[in-house]
Amino acid sequence: MLKTQTITVNMGPQHPSTHGVFRMILTLDGETIVDLKPMFGYLHRGIEKMSEGRTYLQAVPLTDRLDYVCSMTNNFAYAVAVEKLAGIEVPERAEYIRVIMAELTRLVNHMMAIGFLFNDLGAFYTPVLYAYRERERHLDLFEMASGSRMMCNYIRPGGVSGDLPEGFLPALQKVIDINKKFVDEVDYFLSKNEIFLIRAVGVGVLPRQEAIRYSVSGPVLRASGVQYDIRKADSYSIYDRFDFDVPVQQEGDVYARYQQRLQEMRQSIRILEQAQKQLPDGPVMAKVAPRLKPPKGESYARIEAPKGELGFYLVSDGSNNPYRFHVRSTSLINLSALREMCIGFKVADVVTILGSIDITLADVDR
């Protein structure tokens, strides 16, 4: 028997494929991975501690910056949590606008996730730029509604900060039509690509039981055969009025996660069409004091963010500031399964698997 030795390689925080400042210490036997230790914390800004010194309304821009790709859904999750804690009723028009923004964000996120997955595989930047071209149309819509492209600060506890401007609904209709063609185009060009099939099928398999044990959520969970979607299982806002399916894939590999995101994009377009038709008139913000003082208590509320389950655990002691502001972050918990998925595969597969989990370091580190 040859006496062999494992080597330790550092995939350092600066790397083109690590989706942010994320460091992995790999222990390799030849080129096969034996152990993986993820290290993060390079982007820790102390959002939880900062929010304890701010009022509930001042904490909304902090939640924007949690997962900067999907700022609308972060705001949505926080607004749902505060409304559950304080018992605020949201007007109908605001609920529909929130659902429209959340589904537009889901489309943006899945487009970017698919684009960057292909970027990590080596198709340097062509799929990403097609995804970015479509994302620009969504960002124009966000700018029309909220005034800012990415850090929207739009969905606040009690409703939405301002009503939709006049040109919004025709532009939304145009975006929906273009998106339908775009999803079909992505499917046509990328799903049967030979290189992608060789590199993605059977890579990074997460079996169903392990997915539940490692507490993953979102598309990663549904691609492993668990049909659990918070919009259906524990419905919040007005999602019970819409007719949509929850797609699920059985294999749990990188290809399954790509297919899962593609199918979820189609379902999001369905919800958008229904929400746009049913949009009622009315006020967009409830009567909420700017210095909101929820009654003493605590609650945990969660939503189906594009990357998984985003939850906020808020403890209130009756004053202006939250006593405890905890973010149950999607990307951090999805990373628990990274080691399990990567062992036995090669170094090049680690990049693919990390790309398929779709993390944002700002959400991991907070």
Partner 1 sequence: MTNEEILAQIREAFPTAVLDVPSDMIDYTIVLAADQLLPVCRFLHDEIGMDYITDVTAVDYPEYFEVVYHLYSISKNQGMLTLKVRLEDKENPAIDSVTPLWPGANLMECEVYDLMGIRFEGHPGLRRIMLWDGFPGHPLRKDFENRTFTFKELEPTRPQPPNW
Contact in structure between 258 and 119 (CB atoms under 8 Å) = no
Residues 146-175 that bind partner 1 (CB under 8 A): none
Buried b (16+ CB within 10 A) or exposed e, 342-354: beebeeebbbbbb
**Cα torsion at 207, 208, 209, 212 (round to 10°)?**
120
Choose among 303, 359, 313, 362: nearest CA to 333: 359
Q: Are strands 159-160 and 155-156 parallel, antiparallel or unpaired?
A: antiparallel
Contact in structure between 220 and 334 (CB atoms under 8 Å) = yes
Choose among 300, 330, 280, 299: nearest CA to 106: 330
Residues 320-339 that bind partner 1 (CB under 8 A): 323-324, 326, 328, 332-333, 335-337
Asked whether position 126 contacts partner 1 by CB under 8 A, the answer is no
Which segment (1-9, 17-25, 228-236, 348-356) binds partner 1 by CB under 8 A? 228-236
Q: Give the number of other Cβ atoms within 10 Å of residue 248's Cβ.
A: 17
Measured CA distances, 12 to 21, 149, 338, 347, 365 (Å): 8, 31, 16, 13, 16
Query: Total binding residues for partner 1 by CB under 8 A?
Result: 42
Three-state secondary-structure class, residue 346:
strand
Token representation of residue 221: 């969970």
Nearer to partner 1, 126 or 209 (CB): 209
Residues 269-308 that bind partner 1 (CB under 8 A): 297-300, 302
Nearer to partner 1, 84 or 98 (CB): 84
Closest distance of CB 17 from partner 1, Å: 21
DSSP class of residue 2 equals -
Interface characters, 186-215, with partner 1 (x: CB under 8 A): --------------------------xxxx
Which segment (40-48, 124-132, 235-243, 251-259) binds partner 1 by CB under 8 A? 40-48
Candidate residues 216, 271, 275, 341; the one interacting with partner 1 per rule CB under 8 A: 216
Closest distance of CB 339 from partner 1, Å: 10
Closest distance of CB 299 from partner 1, Å: 4
Candidate residues 253, 309, 358, 363; the one interacting with partner 1 per rule CB under 8 A: 309
Contact in structure between 343 and 318 (CB atoms under 8 Å) = no
Asked whether position 67 contacts partner 1 by CB under 8 A, the answer is no
Closest distance of CB 8 from partner 1, Å: 16
Phi and psi at residue 314, to the nearest 5°: -115, 135
Closest distance of CB 333 from partner 1, Å: 6
Asked whether position 248 contacts partner 1 by CB under 8 A, the answer is no
Residues 6+ apart with CB under 8 A from 120: 17, 351, 352, 354, 355
| Chain residues that interact with partner 1, rule: CB under 8 A | 39-41, 44, 46, 48-50, 52-53, 84-85, 212-217, 226, 228, 233-234, 297-300, 302, 309, 311, 313, 315, 323-324, 326, 328, 332-333, 335-337, 365-366
